[in-house]
Amino acid sequence: MLKIDLSEADWRKSRYSINGNCVEFARLDAAHVGIRDSKDRDGAVLIFAVSEWAAFINGVKAGEFEV
């Protein structure tokens, strides 16, 4: 299991967040990004490889997840 210290994570929200209730992300180290629910800051953190997060962001920008 991957062990990463989250105590120094610099959590950020999208600049498009209107009411502050959204997903936050933090660069955890050179290889990992953390994602959490801004309403539950002590809750679970999903950890992804930087390459996985970049692929997701690129997919969003390309409209791959439009409904």
Residue 60 near residue 16, CB atoms below 8 Å: no
Q: For the whole model, what pTM was predicted?
A: 0.79
Angle at 59 (CA atoms; ends 53, 60), nearest 5 degrees: 90
> Tens digits of per-residue pLDDT, 27-48?
999 999 999 998 898 999 999 9
Mean pLDDT of the chain: 90
Q: What is the pLDDT of residue 46?
A: 95
Q: What is the pLDDT of residue 28?
A: 94
d(CA 66, CA 64): 6
Q: Which residue has the higher pLDDT, 32 or 7?
A: 32
d(CA 4, CA 30): 12
Q: What is the pLDDT of residue 43?
A: 92
